[in-house]
Amino acid sequence: KNKKQIAIIGSGAWASVIARIIARNVLILKRFHPIVKMFVYDEIINNKKLSDIINETHENVKYAPGYIFTKNLKAIPDLVECVKFADILVFVVPRQYVENTCKTIVGNVKPNAVAVSLTKGFEVRPGGSLWLISHIITKLLNIKCHVFMGANLAPEVAAEQKICRSTLGCTHKTWGKWLKEIFETDHLKINVVDDEDTVEACGALKNIVATAVGLMDGLAQKNHYKEATMRLGFIEMIKFVDIFYPGGKLSTFFESCGIEDLIVTSYGGRNSKCAKEMVVTGKKLAQIEEEMLKGQKLQGPDTASQVCTMLRAHKMTHKFPFFTKVHAVCNGDEPPDSLKEYVEKNMSKK
Ligand code: 13P
Alpha carbon 107 to chain centroid, angstroms: 26
Residues 5/88, Cβ–Cβ less than 8 Å: yes
Distance 258 CA to ligand 1 centre (A): 13
For residue 32, the model assigns a pLDDT of 97
Strand pairing category for 144-149 and 164-169: antiparallel
Distance 262 CA to ligand 1 centre (A): 9
Residue 17 CB less than 6 A away from ligand 1: no
Residues of the chain short of pLDDT 50, as ranges, are none
For residue 350, the model assigns a pLDDT of 74
pTM for this model (two decimals)? 0.96
Q: 2: exposed, middle or buried (C-beta count within 10 Å: 0-12, 13-18, 19+)?
A: exposed
* Active site (annotated) includes residue 162: no
Q: What is the pLDDT of residues 295-314, one digit of tens each?
A: 888 999 999 999 999 999 99
Residue 265 CB less than 6 A away from ligand 1: yes
ipTM of the complex: 0.95
Residue 269 CB less than 6 A away from ligand 1: yes
For residue 282, the model assigns a pLDDT of 92
For residue 123, the model assigns a pLDDT of 95
For residue 267, the model assigns a pLDDT of 95
Residue 210 CB less than 6 A away from ligand 1: yes
First to last CA, the chain: 66
For residue 221, the model assigns a pLDDT of 82
Residue 270 CB less than 6 A away from ligand 1: yes
Helix (H) or strand (E) holding 23: helix 13-26
**Bridge partners (DSSP) listed for residue 148:** 168
For residue 76, the model assigns a pLDDT of 98
Residues 109/141, Cβ–Cβ less than 8 Å: yes
Q: What is the pLDDT of residues 194-248, one digit of tens each?
A: 999 999 999 999 999 999 999 999 998 877 899 999 999 999 999 999 999 999 9
Q: Whose alpha carbon is nearest atom 4 of ligand 1?
A: 270
For residue 196, the model assigns a pLDDT of 98
Q: Whose alpha carbon is nearest atom 5 of ligand 1?
A: 269
For residue 1, the model assigns a pLDDT of 72
For residue 222, the model assigns a pLDDT of 79
Distance 139 CA to ligand 1 centre (A): 26
Q: How many angstroms separate the CA atoms of 58 and 242, rounded?
A: 44
For residue 295, the model assigns a pLDDT of 83
Q: How many angstroms separate the CA atoms of 268 and 261, rounded?
A: 10
Residues 308/189, Cβ–Cβ less than 8 Å: no
